[in-house]
Amino acid sequence: MNHLIKKLFSFIIFLLFFLNSVWTQGLPTAKPEDVGLSSERLSRINKVMEDYVAQKKIPGAVVLVARHGKVAYLKSYGMMDIEASKPMQNNTIFRIASMTKPITTTAIMMLYEEGRFLLNDHVSKYIPEFKNPKVLIKPPKDAGEQPETVPAKREITIHHLLTHTSGIGYSFFNPKLRAIYRRAGVPDGAIAVDSTIGEKMKILAGLPLNNHPGEAVEYGLSVDVLGYLVEVISGMTLDEFFQERIFKPLKMKDTYFFLPEKKYDRLAELYEPTKNGYLKKYPDGVVERRSFRFSASFPKDEQRTYFSGGSGLTSTISDYVRYAQMLLNGGELDGVRLLSRKTIELMTINQIGDLSYPGSAMGLNLSVLIDLAKPGFLLGKSDAIGSVGKYGMGGIFYTCWWADPKEELIGIMMSQIYPWGHLDLSAKFEVLAYQAIVD
């Protein structure tokens, strides 16, 4: 009897270990050679990542390469907390910032597929405060002066929000809008606010645009407006919609706006590079760097009512690969369909015509590679390696991902450092992933 109990106990331990392994991988695993990749060539990632950690260019990172729906490479490097000597883990949680944007787009496109609206509908049809927008001509010189504006040539549409052509910006990107947004108390998203997205977006609606809708790409708070639009149309908070309609169906168990306390210890610390070549941990609370106001501690903040559709989520690499694979599969994963194949096609083609960036374009909140002869644009440095039609997005705290439909290849890199404009690691990671293809 004792022998049977021991065997049963051993089996339970094995089963728990197996299930945990599967969960932390996010997708099924495969030997690289079984999915047309070279183990030897993938191992080149190791030296590059280890060098960047050793040179204190990054605190640490987790990287993943998947092909044909299976994870062929997943490894963590460096530290998630240097001061506490906590090594980076494959299930470390990261602030993914603008990698939130495609998920908000998925939510709005799910409602689009239910016949709730059309893409060319005016936003004011659902959020009346956006009626009769105005365009900034001259910003105020001081707090007592009002901005000079003219009526916009046209109303903002949902399509404008999805393509960042609404004229709505980010205060840290646009000096002309900075004082106006800050005076009105409109945050950029990476901060906990004692308010709701609805309250702030209604205030934003009354502020001037930087461009006439449809005439220029202005990367900014358009997706926060989309997040509020999800709330208005669905009758759920954005957090509830994400959890019930996206994260639970996709089994994304570690993706949140605000972390449960039991997972605090898995959140990577956020670092900034110093002039003497070291990395310094950001303190709790609000800080400002390069006109960007943010909080490293916002995922653990007690204020939990502001759900930024443009930059508010935290996640793991294994959760996010499930989301990316759903897109690559044409809207379905493991028998669960969130979107149709035709909607995914709509999201991943050039939607901004001649307003395209060099070498790449904007789909529906996805950067899409359209010219291999020119550098791509994933909110960071990028080589134009891959295939026409590759799409993805990056986050301001140095996370990025891309998916290549032609090669059925996904690459994800997550670190936590800001600013990072001096780094080229994300571009090198793309090269290292693609050069491993041998079939």
Return the pLDDT at 10.
47
pLDDT of 358 strictly over 80: no
Number of domains in the chain: 2
- From the centroid of its chain, how far is CA 383? 20
369 and 399 co-located in one domain: yes
Mean predicted confidence (pLDDT) in 296-305:
95
Return the pLDDT at 25.
64
Which of 197, 214, 242 is the endpoint of a domain? 242
Which of 224, 242, 260 is the endpoint of a domain? 242
> Which of these, 27, 124, 123, 10, lies nearest to 72 by C-alpha position?
27
Contact 50, 77 (CB under 8 A): yes
74 and 141 co-located in one domain: no
231 and 264 co-located in one domain: no
pLDDT of 163 strictly over 90: yes
203 and 82 co-located in one domain: no
Return the pLDDT at 360.
78
- Kindly provide the residue ranges of all beta strands, DSSP E only, lying in 102-227, ordered along the sequence: 134-138, 148-151
114 and 84 co-located in one domain: no
pLDDT tens readout for residues 9-54: 444 444 434 444 444 569 999 999 999 999 999 999 999 999 999 9
Contacts of residue 299, Cβ cutoff 8 Å, sequence gap at least 6:
93, 95, 256, 257, 258, 259, 267, 314
Return the pLDDT at 179.
93
CA distances from 158 to 138, 164, 221, 223 (A): 26, 10, 13, 10
Expressed as residue numbers, the domain containing 376 is 27-99+250-434
359 and 232 co-located in one domain: no
Return the pLDDT at 83.
97
Return the pLDDT at 374.
73
Question: Is pLDDT larger for residue 370 or for residue 83?
Answer: 83
Amino acid (one-letter) located at 416: Q
Contacts of residue 262, Cβ cutoff 8 Å, sequence gap at least 6:
none
pLDDT tens readout for residues 128-144: 999 999 999 999 887 77
CATH code, 129: 3.40.710.10
pLDDT of 155 strictly over 70: yes
190 and 318 co-located in one domain: no
